[in-house]
Amino acid sequence: MRVGLIGFGGLGILVAKELAADEAIQFVGVAAREKQRERVHGVLGKVPLVDSADALLALKPELIVECASHAAFRQYAEPVVSAGIDLIAVSVGTLADAEYRERVLATARRGGATLEIPAGAIGAIDVIAAARHAGLTRVVYVTRKSPKAWKGTPAETMIDLASVIAPELFYDESAEHAAKLFTEKANVTATLALAGIGFQATRVQFWVDPAVTQSVHHVEAEGACGTLTIDMGNNVAPADGRTSLQTAMSIVQAVRNRVAVLRI
């Protein structure tokens, strides 16, 4: 399968390294910054480096994987699915914008393509997506991160991170609000909302906790099928100390499922 990759930061590198050894997968090009050329070639060999959707599509990929940012999603998503190429994307917080979401999905329908969202940093997405068919009444997502992990986000305007000495809830809103406000930090809230009861009904709570050393995720759901509670403590990749290893492996699994005889 011919694969195009968007983004070659910490996440893209992890995905590329893991998939590069698969004989069934051939990377035909990477959309990334020019300064990343040496890094791309070091992992994938002399694959073309491009900076536009047209250039990436010209390489005739059968599947494109986005591991970059909200801005990259907006740049590439519509041209890719319009061309009839399936897209696996992680920067799905962009889809909290209802008008934009419907436009992307309508474009995919016209192009005969699919937009696939991997589970990313959280689990139980398959359970949530299945249970919604019978009816879900409640979905809540809670995350706990250290003060350091919240730096550089809107959390800094909501709480004095430097003075936190005990766990503190500083944000309790809808998934729509969270995905729009926290952008790159809240893609999982969008994934959960799309899998379950929507952006307005899905509740999101953010905590700052000086005792945690991982990104801690907690999901609760209730409905006709029963109840679900899941807790995860995710590690970052040793290579950069920032990228969620679980997120990277969820993308790898989604790509490998495309060529697998047994799909789980």
Residues 111 and 131 in one domain: no
Local mean pLDDT, 10-residue blocks, the chain (264 residues): 97 97 96 96 97 98 97 98 98 97 98 97 95 98 95 96 97 97 93 98 98 94 98 88 91 97 92
Which two structure tokens, joined as six digits, stand for 246? 């679980």
Residues 9 and 114 in one domain: yes
| Count: domains in the chain | 2
Identify the CATH number of the domain in which residue 163 sits. Answer: 3.30.360.10
By residue range, what is the domain housing residue 20?
Answer: 2-120+245-259
Tell me the backbone φ, ψ of residue 98, rounded to 5 degrees.
-60, -40
Rounded CA separation 251/89 (Å): 8
Q: What are the tens digits of pLDDT across the range 124-133?
A: 999 999 999 9
Residues 9 and 116 in one domain: yes
Q: Which residue has the tokens 């390294």?
A: 17
Confirm whether 240 is domain-assigned: no
pLDDT of residue 131: 98
Q: Which residue has the tokens 């491009």?
A: 50
Q: What are the tens digits of pLDDT across the range 92-122?
A: 999 999 999 999 999 999 999 999 999 999 9
Confirm whether 225 is domain-assigned: yes
Residues 113 and 6 in one domain: yes
Residues 130 and 225 in one domain: yes
Residues 131 and 114 in one domain: no
Confirm whether 239 is domain-assigned: no
Confirm whether 264 is domain-assigned: no
pLDDT of residue 238: 83
185 in Cβ contact with 159 (< 8 Å): no
Residues 69 and 150 in one domain: no
Identify the CATH number of the domain in which residue 251 sits. Answer: 3.40.50.720
191 in Cβ contact with 179 (< 8 Å): no
For residue 27, give the nearest of 44, 10, 52, 50 by alpha carbon. 44
Active centre residues (catalytic): 217
Confirm whether 156 is domain-assigned: yes
